[in-house]
Chain A
Amino acid sequence: MTDTTKILPGRAGGLHISADVLQLAYRLLAALLICVLLSLLTDSFLSLNNILNVLRQASLMFFVAAGLTLVVLTAGLDLSIGANVGLTACLAGTVIHVTGSPTLGVLVGIGVGAVIGLANGIMVTALRIPSFIATYGMLWILQGVAYWYMAGETIHGFPPAFRQLGSGYFLGLPIPVYLLVIFLAIGTVLAQRTTWGQEIYAIGANPVAARLSGIPVAARLLLVYTVSGTMAGLASIIFLARLNSAEADIGESLTLPAIASVLIGGTSLFGGVGTVFGTFIGALILTLVLNGMNLLQISASWQPLVTGAIVILAVWLDRMTRRRAF
């Protein structure tokens, strides 16, 4: 280990493919491989209906996970997003149901999501509680409130125009796919094209150095959790539109797949590495796997198990690649 600059093989003067792009390429390849595998193993995979379904499911999963990506980039975690989506959906759903105004519902959704995110942010920055335990506590608080608020009931029936948001089609593609593109755009712009995003990456890569480089770390973290919460709030609206109902337990099964999507997509738990687009690919891969299981008639009970195993695998891979660092 001499004191010289190490040159990576094959880089001198050649095409400079950034590490990020390479990682995304690998994952797209993996998704493609799964598609090929599934089309060989089943008859129904390649049907238009199924593919559109996969896209729609992946989109829904991605909406929840998009904001989470930003939090994980700072080496934090938000275990409460599932419960956030659940509670927000119930509250927004009530508003839409009562007032008949989707706009009002959207506003409520954004508002509630933002408040939850802000509360998480305060716990992490001002109260200095580690993010995983703070958001874990928040998860239970939100879940409890949701159950109490709904009192076992379900909200049914939203205005048809609103439901288009989740179940409708436009030019042959499910509307959530268009929303996906919008979410992707917003998320990517925030992360890659704002100074705030650059600071987020810096904080995740080395929080001490970030602070000593003049970045107001606490303020940035507060914003990250708030943004994550807000995006979860937006996601809940789309869920409402898709499911055409709201129940207290909508959010329970969302947290693990959301985390899985982020991790599979290449965002490192240890911070500073990852992209929002990667999370989309992660959501896609997870959806493909679960879809495949469905088509192969594997009982749905296996799904949490497979998701859990995938999470562990993804973290382990992350750890291995991180270890060869400097």
Chain B
Amino acid sequence: MPEIALTAPMARIRRIPGVAMMLIALVAGFAATSPGFLTVPNLSNVLVQSTVLLLLALPMTLIIMTEGLDLSMGAVLTLTSLVVALVTLATGSVLLGLLAACAVGTLFGIMNGWLVAILGIPPFVATLGTLGMAQGLSLIVSDGQSVVGMPVAIQKIYSGMLAAVPLPILMAIAAYAAFHLLLYYTRLGTFVFALGGNRDALRFAGVKVERMLIVVYAIGGAMAGLAGVLMTARMNAGHPTAGLGLEFDAIAAVAVGGTSFERGNGWLLGTLLGVLTVGVLRNGLNLLAIPSSVQVSCVGVLVIMALFFDGLRSRT
């Protein structure tokens, strides 16, 4: 540990290079190899498509900061995307569908939190289990079929615009602002740092640690619900396997963005950059006609690299 106190801005600058460099490198690389990459329509496409991922990656950042993990987010997203479709179809009200989706998502989040905080089950196993449960429920409620025929209004959520800005981007900005406020200006946010950095100090300060953990996972579930709504809006249908595996991209975005898996060190802006990095990576590989399967492998390699460097950093 340095003997001299570094001032806060200096410490942050040290971190920017990692993920920003990667982003810049990817943008430069793809711009060079694909003529269609660096165009306004393509880039705005990347932005809009990244919003679903951002909605997952923001709460995932908080969860990872508490030294936890939520592997069920993709499956919960899938389930809630079906829920909003089914409820909207049944009641004709998009609003009810939205509320139902968020409720289901929050419920799963609370369950995750309960398993981890109260029963003491390691997060990856607990959320692996709930992943299975959500996946199963998705198949059951949809009977294996896509859900179509919802009111046109639902599509507007994804394709609509406000003051020439696509609605999803506004949602993303709002979500980011909300999480920024949460993490840096609320008690819960302070506690998130402590849950990962020194849980005993928090307990000693008289805070109910278990309750806070459950809230963090519940937020993850709620956001998965919101993301599910967005996804259904994008596809104009509810699909029983739509979001499976998205949690991996979310974890990748968080890891690449510099949030470490231990010690309660998190960086929201890094997650944002990480989401963009993953989005750019996928988009660029798409333009190069590289199949989605290989894209997934590339993301995997990216995660391992990020973890390796994170491990190196924590040992210096």
A interface residues (Cβ-Cβ under 8 A, vs B) = 77, 79, 123, 127-130, 132-134, 136-148, 151, 248, 256, 259, 269, 299-309, 311-312, 315-316, 319
Contacts and interface: CB of A to CB of B under 8 A. Distances in A.
Contact of A128 (B121, B295, B311): B311
B307 A148 contact: no
28 contacts: A127-B308, A129-B308, A129-B311, A132-B122, A133-B303, A133-B307, A136-B71, A136-B248, A140-B245, A141-B300, A143-B297, A144-B297, A144-B298, A145-B293, A146-B293, A147-B293, A148-B294, A269-B125, A299-B139, A305-B136, A306-B136, A308-B130, A308-B132, A311-B132, A312-B125, A315-B121, A315-B129, A319-B120
A256 B291 contact: no
B261 A259 contact: no
B88 to A, nearest CB: 22
Interface in B17-70: 69
B135 interface: yes
A58 B36 CA distance: 52
B119 interface: yes
B125 A311 contact: yes
B128 A256 contact: yes
A315 B301 contact: no
B249 to A, nearest CB: 9
Contacts of A138: 300, 304
Contacts of A144: 293-298, 300
Interface string B300-316: 11011001100100000
Contact of B297 (A141, A259, A308, A311): A141
Contact of B296 (A132, A140, A304): A140
Interface of B: 69, 71, 115, 119-122, 124-126, 128-133, 135-137, 139-140, 143-144, 245, 248, 251, 261, 291-301, 303-304, 307-308, 311
Contacts of A140: 245, 248, 296-297, 299-300, 303
B314 to A, nearest CB: 10
A311 B295 CA distance: 30
Contacts of A304: 132-133, 135-136, 139
Contact of B140 (A130, A143, A301): A301
A305 B133 contact: yes
